[in-house]
Structures are given as C-alpha cells and as structure tokens.
Amino acid sequence: MFDQILSSLQKEAAPALMAKLGLDQNQADKSVGAAANSVKEVLGGNHGFGMDDVLSLFSNNTNTAGANGLMSKLGTVMQGKLSTEAGLPAEKASMVQSMLLPLVTDFIAKHVGGDASKLKGMLGGLGDLSGMADTAKGMLGKLFK
C-alpha cells in the first residue's frame, strides 16, 4: 500500500515542486523519496507516538496533541532528509518540506482514513520496521482475539 501511495505522490508532487519551487526533475524525485523515507523513519522508529496518534494524524478528524507532535517530528526529519538525501540547501529544503508535508499526510489519510486495519496494512508494507509496525501489529492482533 505504501508503494501505491508513494507512486501517486510522485505523480502529483514532483511536477508541482518543479513548477512552484523551480526544482529540476532529479531534485523533485529525490525530494519525494526523502519525504517517503521520513515517513518510514518516523513511523518505524520508537519516537514515543502511539497508534492513536498515528490514526489521528492520518484521518479527517482534528489532530490530537500527539498527532501534532508526530507531524512536528515528521517535519523535522523531512527537513533533514531533504538536505542530506536530495541535496537541497536549507532554505529550499524548508520550502519543499512546507509543500510536501501536507501532501504526504493527505495522501496517506486518503488511503488510511483513520482505519486501523488499513494503517496496519500500510505499516506492514514498509518492510522490516520495528517500533510502530510491531506495536500496530500487536495492538491490532489483540483487538481481533
């Protein structure tokens, strides 16, 4: 599922990054990749966020305080990855992050929509992630016993 989200994001975000922020194709592609890697890192790491925070962030509901914290962490990680992985200077990375972060969360929210089983499917598709994926699997497994 995450690969499908990334493919959709790539098709929409890369041309917008080139048109609105003047990135070339390579920079736009690397920026979308850096955004995806940021999501993988934050959701896969042990950053102290729970399933309720993730579900709140990727739903149409108003974010909880935890979801806002998750969004902030995602923005910080993304900013760093845009500089290191996409090679963007700090000012350009900040502009790209400001544009990509809402796109990323919106794309994921469209696919997850606050549904724990869909979130589990997405997290499972992120590969060998510890932390949030294991937590999600464990919590969801207990719900269905």
pTM exceeding the 0.95 threshold for the entire prediction: no
Q: What distance in Å separates the CA atoms of residue 54 and residue 20, rounded to the nearest whole number?
A: 29
What secondary structure letter does DSSP report for 131? T
Query: Is 58 within 8 Å of 1 (Cβ atoms)?
Result: no
The one-digit pLDDT tens for each residue of the chain (145 residues) are: 667 777 888 898 999 999 999 999 999 999 999 998 998 888 876 666 777 888 888 887 888 898 899 999 999 999 999 999 999 999 999 999 999 999 988 888 888 777 777 777 776 655 443 444 444 444 444 443 3
**For the chain, what is the domain count?**
1
Q: For the chain, report the end-to-end CA distance as a whole number of angstroms.
A: 25
Cβ-count burial 104-124 (b if 16+ within 10 Å, e if not): bbebbeebbeeebebbbebbe
Domain enclosing residue 123, as ranges:
2-143
